[in-house]
C-alpha cells in the first residue's frame, strides 16, 4: 500500500514539475524574472514580502528547488521540505525581532483554504496583534 501511495505521489509531482516551475509567479520570482522584495534566502528557501499583505509583516517562504503544488502533494521522501520552510520563517522572525511579541505561520492548502498560487509556500504574519484565527 505504501509503495503504491509513494508511486502515486511521484507521478503527480513529476507531472506537476514539468509545468509548474515555469508557470507560476513563484517560479518567475525564484529565477528573478519578475521583481520581488526578497528578505530571506538560503540554499533551499526564498522569502519575500507578500504583494497584498494581511499584516504589517507578511512574508512568503517558498522552496527554491521543488515544484510541489500543495501540502497534500508533498511525498514522504520530501517531508523535510516543510520543516525547512518553517525553520526559515522562524529564523527570519528572530532576526527581525518579531519572535518576542509573536508571529503566525500559515500554510493554505487548495482553493477553499485560500491558496491562490499552486507552489507550496508558507506565510509569516506579524507586526501587530493578529487576533483569533479560523473563522471565515
Q: Is residue 42 part of a domain?
A: yes
Give pLDDT tens digits for 1-16. 545 444 444 545 444 4
| Predicted local distance difference test score (pLDDT) of residue 20 | 44
30/133 Cα distance (integer angstroms): 30
pTM score over 0.85: no
pLDDT over 60 at 18, yes or no: no
pLDDT over 60 at 113, yes or no: yes
- Mean pLDDT for the chain? 86
pLDDT over 60 at 110, yes or no: yes
- In the chain, the number of structural domains is 1
pLDDT over 90 at 65, yes or no: no
pLDDT band at 32 (very low <50, low <70, confident <90, very high): very high
- Domain region containing 66: 2-126
| Predicted local distance difference test score (pLDDT) of residue 135 | 53
Strand ranges inside the chain, DSSP E: 38-41, 45-49, 57-63, 103-106, 122-126
Annotated catalytic residue: which of 66, 119, 121, 123?
121
70/64 Cα distance (integer angstroms): 15
The verdict on whether 123 is a catalytic residue reads no
Q: Is residue 136 part of a domain?
A: no
Alpha carbon separation from 123 to 10, 19, 72, 85 (Å, rounded):
26, 24, 17, 10
Domain with residue 32: its CATH number is 3.30.428.10
Amino acid at each position: 500500500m505504501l509503495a503504491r501511495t509513494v508511486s502515486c505521489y511521484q507521478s503527480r509531482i513529476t507531472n506537476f514539475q514539468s509545468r509548474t516551475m515555469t508557470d507560476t509567479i513563484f517560479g518567475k520570482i525564484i529565477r528573478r524574472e519578475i521583481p520581488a522584495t526578497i528578505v530571506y534566502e538560503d540554499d533551499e528557501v526564498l522569502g519575500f514580502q507578500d504583494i497584498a499583505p494581511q499584516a504589517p509583516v507578511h512574508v512568503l517562504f517558498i522552496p527554491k528547488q521543488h515544484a510541489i503544488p500543495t501540502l497534500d502533494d508533498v511525498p514522504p521522501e520530501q517531508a523535510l521540505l516543510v520543516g525547512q520552510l518553517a525553520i526559515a520563517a522562524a529564523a527570519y522572525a528572530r532576526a527581525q525581532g518579531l519572535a518576542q511579541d509573536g508571529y503566525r505561520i500559515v500554510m493554505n492548502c487548495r482553493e477553499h483554504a485560500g491558496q491562490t498560487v499552486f507552489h507550496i509556500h508558507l506565510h509569516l504574519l506579524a507586526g501587530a496583534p493578529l487576533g483569533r484565527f479560523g473563522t471565515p
